[in-house]
Amino acid sequence: DAGITQSPRHKVTETGTPVTLRCHQTENHRYMYWYRQDPGHGLRLIHYSYGVKDTDKGEVSDGYSVSRSKTEDFLLTLESATSSQTSVYFCATRRGETTEAFFGQGTRLTVV
């Protein structure tokens, strides 16, 4: 366990509302990632960060934004939630000099 905490763990929200998911790590890892997991699609990268204030898009970034103002926190924001963003969201971290990725427990988001 790499000390990754995702919050909230479960959330139900209405279409059109903004939602922010938080990932907090205690290991001082350089890299942080946000994935979404959907049946038949596996883990798809939304955004990632390679340092404080350094972020880049993944393959499914539309409708999402991220921020990393501190090493330990990586926020994922759904600017205006849609039903297609109903999913399980995972945060992951990776220390720069190693290759293993550590995952959080996930956040189940339902957009109604």
Partner 1 sequence: QQQVKQSPQSLIVQKGGISIINCAYENTAFDYFPWYQQFPGKGPALLIAIRPDVSEKKEGRFTISFNKSAKQFSLHIMDSQPGDSATYFCAALRFSGNQFYFGTGTSLTVIP
Q: Is 15 in the site for partner 1 (CB under 8 A)?
A: no
Q: Which of the stretches 12-20, 40-48, 61-69, 71-79 binds partner 1 when contact is defined by CB under 8 A?
A: 40-48
Find, among 101, 69, 93, the residue nearest to 77 by Cα: 69
| Shortest CB 97 distance to partner 1, Å | 10
Residues pairing with 45 in the sheet? 35
Task: Rank residues 80 and 105 by Cβ distance to partner 1 and give the closer one.
Answer: 105
- Draw the binding track, 42-81, toward partner 1 (x: CB under 8 A; -: no contact): xxxx--x-x-----x-x-----------------------
Cα four-point dihedral sign 107, 89, 85, 76: positive
Residues 73 and 23 sit within 8 Å (Cβ to Cβ): yes
User: Measured from the CB of residue 15, what is the shortest distance to partner 1 in angstroms?
Assistant: 26
Identified binder of partner 1 from the candidate list 23, 25, 33, 74, rule CB under 8 A: 33
Buried b (16+ CB within 10 A) or exposed e, 96-106: eeeeeebbbeb
